[in-house]
Amino acid sequence: MANVSPVLSIVRDEPASAAIEVAGLTHVYDGRDGKVPALTDIAMTVGAGRFVVIVGPSGCGKTSLLMMMAGLRHQTSGTIRIQGRPIDNPDPERVGVVFQEASLFPWLTALDNIEFPLALRHAPKAERAERANQMLNLVGLQGFGARYPHELSGGMKQRVSIARGLVQDPPVLLMDEPFAALDEQTRMTMGHELLRIWSQTAKTVVFVTHSLTEAVYLADEVLVMSARPGRIIGRIAINLPRPRTYEMMATDIFGCLRDRIWQQIRKEG
């Protein structure tokens, strides 16, 4: 562990080419007792190929923020640019989404689930099958393509969901607490697998989670959000070397980083 350098600096310089740029984003929704502010003045930039994790207390709006980046929800004001262009509606060419529950269609096999986005675009059958099989191999599920979701474990379902998110080769992958429903061991394995897939595909990833350990283990940079109305209250660079290993979790630097995030969250609460 000699090469682990203690870096706890706040991120200042942004990478030259940004995959995601969020500026002045505010969201207010109509609640029972009038307007409820959900997100306040969010600004963030994610460089191409970076792995950014958003953490924050429940109900802070981190999922809403992710859904807005996916073009699935509309913010009250502010802009979101993905690959240099605003995103108003879902655009699978630019953004793939992996949801909290794997949300696979139970009436389709694993392979058909992965092909689903391609089928929507009426891609030729041969191309669909070839592409879906590549993805199945990428996520380590070769031989499981003909299984239905109810025949797969929780971890395997999320692997299929990741394969589905990547099948159209979008430069950006958004992940909304994808491993939250998994047991601790599976969760660790999946984190490791995700980093392997990420290093092989060079995607820009925004990953939302509750788990600080997961955040430090995965991220290049962790964004900390406050309780509602959600604001970004901290940016912490995770300069642990890659590839990450399980042993790193036992190091002081790992503990310091996690503690630092925890302090930020607690200070707010």
Partner 1 sequence: MTRFQLIAIRLLLLALVLTAWQVLPRNGIINPLLLPPFSDVLSTLWEILGRPQVHEAILVTSAEVIVAFVIAVPLGAAIGVLIAEHDYAGQIFKPLLFYVFSVPKSIFLPMFILIMGIGFQQKVAYAAFSTLFIVIMSATAAVESVRTDHVLVARSFGATRWQILTRVYVPSMMPILLETLRISMIFNFTGVMIAEMYASRTGLGYLIANWGENFQLPQLFAGVILLAVVAIAFNEAVRVLEHRVSAWRT
Cβ closest to partner 1, residue 94 vs residue 187: 94
Interface residue with partner 1, options 22, 52, 60, 70 (CB under 8 A): 70
Of 168 and 209, CB closest to partner 1: 168
Binding residue count for partner 1, defined by CB under 8 A: 25
Report helix, strand or coil for 209.
Answer: strand
- 30 lines the binding site for partner 1 (CB under 8 A): no
Q: From the list 56, 61, 117, 171, which residue makes contact with partner 1 (rule: CB under 8 A)? A: 117
Tell me the one-letter amino acid at 63. Answer: T
In angstroms, the CA 129 to CA 33 distance is 51
Q: Residue 208: which region, alpha, beta or left (left: phi > 0; alpha: psi -120 to 50)?
A: beta
Give yes or no for residue 103 binding partner 1 (CB under 8 A).
yes
Q: Which residue spans within the chain are E strands per DSSP?
A: 18-31, 34-47, 51-55, 77-82, 85-86, 95-98, 172-176, 204-209, 221-225, 232-237
Q: For residue 91, state whether it binds partner 1 (rule: CB under 8 A).
A: yes
* Closer CB to partner 1, 54 or 222, in the complex: 54
Contact present, 86 and 80 (Cβ < 8 Å): yes
Q: Shortest distance, CB of residue 117 to partner 1, whole angstroms?
A: 4
* Amino acid present at 76: T
Binding to partner 1 (CB under 8 A) within 147-176 occurs at 148, 150, 168
Per CB under 8 A, residues contacting partner 1 are 70, 72, 89-92, 95-97, 99-101, 103, 105-108, 116-117, 119-121, 148, 150, 168
